[in-house]
Amino acid sequence: MIVILQADIAEDSPEYRQVLDYLRHKPNISTRVHREIGAIRTVTEIYVIGDTMTLDQAEVESLPGVERVVRISEDFRVVGRHLNDPRASGFEYHGVRFDQDNLNVFAGLCAVDTPAHVERMMKALRDHGQVCTRMGAYKPRTNPYSFQGHGKACLPWVFELAGKHGIQVIAMEITHDSHLDEIREALEKTGKPTGVMLQIGTRNTQNFELLKAVGRQSEFPILLKRGFGITLEESINAAEYVASEGNHKIIFGLRGMKTNMGDPHRNFVDFAHVPVVRRLTRMPVCIDPSHSVGSRDGSPEGIPDVFHVTAQGVIAGANMILVDFHPAPTQALVDGPQALTLEELPWFLEDVRIARAAYEQRRALAAKR
């Protein structure tokens, strides 16, 4: 059960105390308070866990200070979409809105390599009206002898270049909770010229201690990638791990499943799950066409498969695209074969625009019924 209190209720108000006391005196019930301090208002939600069927919903709703009570029957207490659930979906971060109704593109380098390449990428993004990017500094690699990223050494100059080119949010994978401190420190040192979205990669989807660590902080939003060899439900539970620690700013990322049934694609594209995640949860849904497809191959008319699967996700309502680009793919230190070129950026963005317009038309058509 979620007890939603009236907006802007103070923690030291008698109403707030009374609701908590009421709940805390009930047997086999525990509570966890989540306060979201927004620009316009502060929302307070009390997550009630345990034997909630014994609680009288009308009685709780009649307590002073209570706006609404939502009964949650299933799992995914925080991230789930429940019946008559008025909680807003999505969030704003560093001036960019993320929700289930809009679409943001994060084109960029799978792995940061040279300042010249990073700058060319960011300049191209700015020239095409983009304010988000992806930049990997910590790369989990299958082979221990492969390049694992420049780590904290590159953070200051990457953040400075982002600021110089008006990039507001960088999606950046972390593989250890110490990376969180390194990112925080580099942002402080450079005067916070940009924002960072912490990416949890598919190899860490069930690294529960890492999930709890990123969930305990609320400064940075999280892009949680689906685990490549576990069920969708297990991956959504991983998002719930983050949320249960207090950070509700989570985007759920689809990136394909590991099976040779998807050959010749690198992973079996799973973007048919875009509407499923939007139905089951309130999280914005990201698609990663690059790690799904894994190559620059295309269809006979000359459209790369990366474009095709992007369109498939976008036409189904995806809210974010994480896609690999590189100014010189043959020189990329990680995942060059799947990177699109800067010359292809305007083409890609226009193709996305076409798919998004089709989604909006489909949505309008459904609304007429």
**Binding piece for Mn ion, criterion CB under 5 A, among 238-246, 268-276, 299-307, 330-338:** 330-338
What is the H or E stretch that residue 70 is in?
strand 66-70
Give the three-state DSSP class for 259. Answer: coil
Q: Which CB atom, from 110 or from 269, has the smaller least distance to Mn ion? A: 110
- Say how far apart CA 105 and CA 320 lie, in whole Å: 6
Q: Residue 250's closest CA among 232, 213, 281, 224?
A: 224
Nearer to Mn ion, 270 or 335 (CB): 335
Q: Is 136 in the site for ligand PEP (CB under 6 A)?
A: yes
DSSP for residue 345: H
Q: How far apart are CA 157 and CA 186, in angstroms?
A: 9
Spell out the alpha helix ranges (H) of 165-261.
177-189, 208-216, 232-244
Q: Please identify which residue in 201, 284, 313, 317 interacts with ligand PEP, judged by CB under 6 A.
A: 201
Question: Shortest approach of ligand PEP to residue 34 CB, angstroms?
Answer: 28
Q: Return the residues of window 271-310 that contact ligand PEP according to CB under 6 A.
A: 288, 291
Check binding of 255 to ligand PEP (CB under 6 A). Answer: yes
Radius of gyration, CA atoms only, the chain: 22
110 binds Mn ion (CB under 5 A): yes
Work out whether 335 is an interface residue with Mn ion (CB under 5 A): yes
CB under 5 A: which stretch of 51-59, 94-102, 116-124, 327-335 binds Mn ion? 327-335
Q: Cα dist. 133→124, 226, 269 in Å?
A: 11, 20, 22
Give me the half-sphere count of Cα atoms (radius 13 Å) on the Cβ side of residue 364: 6
Which residue has 């990177």 as its token pair? 339
CB under 5 to 8 A by kind: which of ligand PEP, Mn ion, none does 165 bind?
A: none
Selection from ligand PEP, Mn ion, none that 175 binds (CB < 5 to 8 A by kind) is none
* 103 scored as a contact of Mn ion (CB under 5 A): no
Give the separation between CA 98 and CA 100, rounded to whole angstroms.
Answer: 7
The CB-nearest residue to ligand PEP is 201
Q: Which residues of 199-234 are buried (b: 16+ CB within 10 A; e: fewer)?
A: bbbbbbbbbeebbebbbeebebbbbbbbbbeeebee
135 binds Mn ion (CB under 5 A): no
Q: Rule CB under 6 A: choose which of 133, 202, 247, 310 binds ligand PEP.
A: 202
**Residue 108 touches ligand PEP, criterion: CB under 6 A:** no
> Could you give the string, one character per residue 214-253, with x where binding to ligand PEP holds by CB under 6 A and - elsewhere?
-----------x----------------------------
Binding residues for Mn ion, rule: CB under 5 A, are 110, 335
Binding residues for ligand PEP, rule: CB under 6 A, are 110, 136, 173, 201-202, 225, 255, 288, 291
